[in-house]
Structure 1
Amino acid sequence: MAFTFDDDVVTAVLRHMNDDHVDDNLLIVRAFGAPEAESATMSGFDGAGGVWSADGPSGVATPVRVPWPGGPITERGQVRREIVALYDAACTRLGIPPRPHS
């Protein structure tokens, strides 16, 4: 069973991703399961991976679960590392140059 993060951690990460990384969410879902997505929001995560809701042309939301590239995680700081790795991998798959990370 995957590690479960505290609700406050999940809420903070989701708020950050959905407020500050809207385009990154879309790149990730397009690269890993919903290539026709027109928009996406991160809807959850656990120690095994992240979950996004991808909205396609039909208007139907599709869940897209993507495992963390580095394997299972158990600490909040690892979440950022894995999301950045997913973003980089999505850019590679889609042939888009990734922006620098600070």
Structure 2
Amino acid sequence: MPHTFDDATLVGVLRHMNDDHTDDSLLIARASGCPDAVQATMAGFDGDGGDWVAVRADGSARSVRVGWLHAPIAERRDVRREIVALYDAACAALGVEPRPHS
């Protein structure tokens, strides 16, 4: 059974991703099963991976589940590492130059 994060962690990470990293979410969704997505939002995550909702040009939505690349996680600090890894992998798969991480 995957680790379940507390509500404060979920709300904080999802707010940050959906307010500040919409382009990253779109790249992750496109590289992870919905190449025709025009918009994506992060909908949730647990210790095994993240969930996005990808929207296509015709308005249809598709759920996209992406497993963490390194290993299952149980600490908030590891969420960022895994999302950054997904972003970097998406950039590589799509031929996009990733921005530097601070």
TM-score tier, shorter chain, comes to over 0.9
TM-score, with structure 1 as normaliser: 0.98
Aligned to 1:8: 8
1:32-76 CA-to-partner distances (Å, cap 9, x unmatched) read 110000000000000000000000122111100000001100000
Aligned to 2:17: 17
Matches of 1:101 and 1:4, distance apart in 2: 26
Q: SS where residue 81 of structure 1 aligns?
A: helix
Give the number of equivalent residue pairs: 102
TM-score, with structure 2 as normaliser: 0.98
Aligned to 1:43: 43
Q: SS where residue 64 of structure 1 aligns?
A: strand
Matches of 2:53 and 2:6, distance apart in 1: 21
Matches of 1:52 and 1:61, distance apart in 2: 10
Aligned to 2:73: 73
Percent of pairs with identical residues = 64
Provide structure 1 residue ranges, at least 5 long, that are not aligned to the other structure.
Answer: none
Provide structure 2 residue ranges, at least 5 long, that are not aligned to the other structure.
Answer: none
Aligned to 2:86: 86
Matches of 1:33 and 1:75, distance apart in 2: 27
Q: SS where residue 53 of structure 2 aligns?
A: strand
Matches of 1:44 and 1:100, distance apart in 2: 25
